[in-house]
Amino acid sequence: MTPVSILALILAAQTVTGGLKSANPVTPEVKARQQALRSAAANIDKAGPDLLPLIESSLQDSDAHVRFLAIGALTQLNMKIATGGGQQRPSPSVDPRGRASLQTVLLQTLNDADPRLRGGAAKALAFVAPPPNATVRPALVAAYQREREAGVRAAILSEFGTYSPNSTDVQQIIVSAITDVSPQVRRTAAMVVAKSRPPAALQGVVAELRSGSPETRAEFLLALSSYGAAAKPHLDVLETLLRSETRPPQRLLIQRAIATIQGSR
């Protein structure tokens, strides 16, 4: 999990400012549950043993805003732990990593009606149940395959950069994501490819660069460069891009990619 991901920051901000609103009139009981989560998020540095049970129960709440506040509080907790550096490991009572009951609830949240919760659950799962995990990986694969929201597909895909990227099912998704209709998903796929370099993805990377799409070029240049010597037969694509590119920053990216590939053995 990337602790400072855009999704995480959005969730954290919306947890404080209000975020998703309940569709139905809010009863005093629901208001109390919402306030409990706001208070927990505001005092995350003082989290006690009641926090994780509160998050787990709230992720299953009938009120959409309660569920949203819960995933936001969990995101903040995960960020706090992930960026803790050399600080002492948190108490097991407030450490979500390896907590089986939380993993179960997050797997259920992958089916939530709100796409922000589905994306948040995917990011949280990769932190709570890091690889190897024979249950979470196929669940994320299935979630990706049925997901219609590009932002959620990108959130799930980004975790495959570290979560079993060499497994056959994940590599198939990475290869297919290179040609996704969403530029956001294609950019994310390219970043995952740069880490895992699946052989089957190389032709898709070349095809995207050949298309001349400026909105994905930086990520796909990095992806192609990551293949090293295997990318040498495709240097003509980069040379064609260089001849047509007039913007200095973009020319520099292309020149660096060419130099990296030419220097590879």
pLDDT at 26: 84
pLDDT at 17: 39
pLDDT at 18: 44
pLDDT at 173: 93
CA atoms within 13 A on the CB side of 238: 26
Instruction: Tell me the domains of the chain and their CATH numbers.
Output: 1-92+100-129 (no CATH), 147-265 (1.25.10.10)
71-81 pLDDT, tens digit per residue, is: 999 999 999 99
Full-model pTM: 0.85
Residues of the chain with pLDDT under 50: 1-18, 85-86
pLDDT at 165: 63
Closest CA to 122 of 112, 215, 80, 191: 112
Give the chain as a DSSP string.
Answer: --TT-HHHHHHHHHHHH--SPPSSPPPHHHHHHHHHHHHHHHTGGG--TTHHHHHHHHTT-SSHHHHHHHHHHHHHHHHHHHT-TTSPPPPGGG--TT-HHHHHHHHHHTT-SSHHHHHHHHHHHHHHSPSS-TTHHHHHHHHHHH---HHHHHHHHHHTTTSSTTSHHHHHHHHHHTT-S-HHHHHHHHHHHHHH--GGGHHHHHHHHHTT-TTSHHHHHHHHHHTGGGGGGGHHHHHHHHHH---HHHHHHHHHHHHHHHT--
Phi and psi angles of residue 88, each rounded to the nearest 5 degrees, phi first? -60, 140
Map tokens 């959620």 to a residue.
Answer: 152
pLDDT at 211: 94
